[in-house]
Structures are given as structure tokens and as C-alpha cells.
Amino acid sequence: MPLVPTASIVDAARAARVGAAAFNVIHLETAEALVTAAERTGIPLILQISENCIHYHGSLLPLTRATLALAEESTARIAVHLDHITDTELVHQGITAGVRSVMVDASALPYDQNVATTAALAAWCHERGAYVEAELGEVGGKDGVHAPGARTDPDEALAFVRATRVDALAVAVGSSHAMRERTAELDKDLIAELRTTLPVPLVLHGSSGVPDDELRRAIAAGMTKINISTHLVSVFTGSIRHTLASDPALVDSRKYVKPAREAVAQEATRLLEVLNTPVAAPDVQTAKATVRS
């Protein structure tokens, strides 16, 4: 099946008030597992490749081309997205290689520089038909710029979206990157206010640390794109540890990677279903009544 635009997945999820799942690719085996999950459920999926992952593999093209090929050969509706890209050259390389969705991450820069950098790259990407996500401030846990208690200001977020013309915005509402326990509680009142204030979909980074029910409540409050990486990486690694401990003589990597791939496929299948189970929107008193013009 041809690649599905990220916009079509995110916009449909926003309208239906369900989650647009965005799971990170670490290597070919995780990409295969995630595609399997999308095929089993029939639920659209965004495959994400981060800048850290690109650096791990040494360059952008090999894993990106493999991921694009998997998506194009799948019967599922799949988009491919570049995640947390700080390097302008990598944005250019990715779009040139056929990726049509990117998160431009200038969040560690001062506000004015973040706006200028993001706006310039968004304009370049839009000229080539690519979807652009950005981040205002930095969600906790990635580089220590903000603690998990950081919160996105709705008025500043609206000004940022207007100035940069991005298509989606990652916001700080209580999550933190790289959490290994699913214990985070999100600010649903703020999510609802951001939903009514901003004309673009909201993106939740650091979702690995958020329990299932809390994810559902966040989506009901107005969150749309849900990024998950660390949790699925933990599932993969846990399976390998279990297999090797059960058979210390095992040397053929396929015999311990295959069950790990299946474990990720099973958990990704479960998460896709969690994110696509609608719940009633909460009656949030602090939410704005109308979207600001």
C-alpha cells in the first residue's frame, strides 16, 4: 500500500477523539514488529525514526529506506515520520529520501531562535508537501531543560503556531521522556485548554511513562498524536533477557531476536487498541469555550 500521509492519520484521529499512534523504530526488527501490529489491528500507525536512532546507525538512509519499504509493502495504513530532528541537514536528507513528515526540534533554543528556525524549516518542508511537528519548550527527561513539572502556556503556544505555521505541536503537560515506570499523571485541564486554544493537533511525547487509562483520559481531553518508544524498547530487551537466561548456550541471534520481535508486535497491538478506544470527553471547567481566532 502507498504511504499514508501523517496528516490524514492525525486529522482523522483528532476528529474521532482517539489517539494517533506514533511508535519509534530502533532497528529493522522493531519496524517489522510495529508493521505487524498495524496489520493485525487494521489501525493506522506512524513509524518514527529519531535523530538519536539515525546517529546510532551511522546515517539516515539505510534504516529510513528499509522502513519506507516495509510501509509501502504492508497492507496497513502507515506513515513514516522523522522524530526530534535538530540537524537541518537531516531534515533535508529525510524529505529528499521520501519521508513526508518531520518533527523539527529547536526546543532547546531560546524562544525567538526556536521560532525562527522552526518557521524556516516548516516553510521549506511545506514547499515539498511535508508535514511538520514542532515542540515549544522541552518536554521533561530528554536533555534536562525542563523538569516533568514544566507546562506549556496556551497563549505562548498560540503565538508560536501562528509564527511558525507548523501542522502539530508537542506540548508539556506532565509527561517525561524515557520513563521506565508507567506512573505519570497528566494535566487534563491544560490539555483541554490547549485543545480549544490551538488550531493544530496536540502531540504527547514521553507517553511510555503514562498508564493506559491516563492515556485514554488525555485523548478524551484533547491530546491526539501519542508517541511511544521506551516502553516498547523495554519489551524487546526484556524478551531477549528471558530467552538468553532460559538457554545460556544459545548463539544464533535470530532465535532470541524473533521472540523479542513478536513480543513487541503483541504489545504494540495492545497499545493500538488502547489508543483507539474512545472515552467520553471530560467536563473540564478551565477549558476555553471557543477556539481563539
Counting Cβ atoms within 10 Å, is residue 40 exposed (0-12), middle (13-18) or buried (19+)? middle
Distance of CA 135 to the CA centre of its chain: 12
In angstroms, rounded to a whole number, what is the distance separating the alpha carbons of residues 253 and 238?
15
Contacts with 73 (C-beta within 8 Å, 6 or more apart), sequence order: none
Flag whether 284 is in a domain. no
The model's pTM is 0.90
Flag whether 280 is in a domain. no
For residue 108, the enclosing domain spans 6-275
Q: What pLDDT, on a 0 to 100 scale, did the predictor assign at position 181?
A: 53
Indicate the number of domains in the chain. 1
Distance of CA 226 to the CA centre of its chain: 5
Flag whether 87 is in a domain. yes
- Comparing 138-152, 153-167, 206-220, the range with the smallest average pLDDT is 138-152
Average pLDDT score over residue span 2-24:
97
- Sequence letter at residue 184: A
Q: What pLDDT, on a 0 to 100 scale, did the predictor assign at position 140?
A: 45
Backbone angles phi, psi at 67, to 5 degrees: -65, -40
Q: Contact 202/171 with Cβ under 8 angstroms?
A: yes
Q: What pLDDT, on a 0 to 100 scale, did the predictor assign at position 182?
A: 56
Flag whether 1 is in a domain. no
pLDDT band of residue 175 (cuts 50, 70, 90) is low
| pLDDT at residue 290 greater than cutoff 90 | no
Residue 189 appears among annotated catalytic residues: no
CATH code where residue 128 lies: 3.20.20.70
Q: What pLDDT, on a 0 to 100 scale, did the predictor assign at position 144?
A: 40
Average pLDDT score over residue span 34-59:
98
| pLDDT at residue 284 greater than cutoff 60 | no
- Sequence letter at residue 22: A
Flag whether 293 is in a domain. no
Flag whether 287 is in a domain. no
What does the mean pLDDT of the chain come to? 90
Flag whether 290 is in a domain. no
Residue-wise pLDDT tens digits, 179-230: 455 556 788 999 999 999 999 999 998 887 788 999 999 999 999 999 999 9
Catalytic residue among 83, 105, 167, 187: 83
Flag whether 183 is in a domain. yes
The secondary structure of the chain as a DSSP string is: -PPPPHHHHHHHHHHHT--EEEEE--SHHHHHHHHHHHHHH---EEEEEEHHHHHHHTSSHHHHHHHHHHHHH-SS-EEEEEEEE--HHHHHHHHHHT--EEEE--TTS-HHHHHHHHHHHHHHHHHTT-EEEEESS--BTSSSSS-TT----HHHHHHHHHHH--SEEE--SS-BTT-SS------HHHHHHHHHH-SS-EEE--GGGS-HHHHHHHHHHTEEEEEE-HHHHHHHHHHHHHHHHH-TT---HHHHHHHHHHHHHHHHHHHHHHHTS--PPP--TTS-SS---
Place of cell 497491538: 269
Q: What pLDDT, on a 0 to 100 scale, did the predictor assign at position 148?
A: 57
